[in-house]
Amino acid sequence: MGTGNKLDPSGFICADIYETSVCPLAKAMRKLLKEAGVKGLKVVYSKEPPVQAKDGDGNFLLGSVSFVPGAAGLVIAKEAISELLKK
């Protein structure tokens, strides 16, 4: 799910979307998936609360540290390979 404003690449875990918490993007997706009748979807997310960074005018900033999205990608790649090897 969301990697924006996360700093800890070791905090990403794979779970069903309906078991996620903390992630604002996962919350929005759960609502849409529930409305669409989707019963389950494997995702990668982090329980780390997003950093609340602000610019000089007091506006909240959304960004990613360069290595965090890549780390989340490696977690989902590992999960995909594991699922393929089971079949």
- Which pLDDT tens digit goes with each residue over 37-63? 999 999 999 999 888 888 889 888 888
Q: Has residue 28 been placed in a domain?
A: yes
Q: Has residue 59 been placed in a domain?
A: no
Q: Has residue 58 been placed in a domain?
A: no
Q: What is the pLDDT of residues 63-75, one digit of tens each?
A: 888 899 999 999 9
Which residue, among 60, 43, 59, has the nearest Cα to 51 in the 3D structure?
60
Q: Has residue 76 been placed in a domain?
A: yes
pLDDT of residue 24: 85
Q: Has residue 36 been placed in a domain?
A: yes
Domain that holds residue 33: 9-47+64-86
Q: What is the pLDDT of residues 5-41, one digit of tens each?
A: 888 999 999 999 999 998 888 999 999 999 999 999 9
Residue showing tokens 């389950």: 40
Q: Has residue 55 been placed in a domain?
A: no
Mean pLDDT of 78-87: 92
Structural domain count of the chain: 1
Q: Is the pLDDT of residue 87 over 80?
A: no
Q: Is the pLDDT of residue 2 over 80?
A: yes
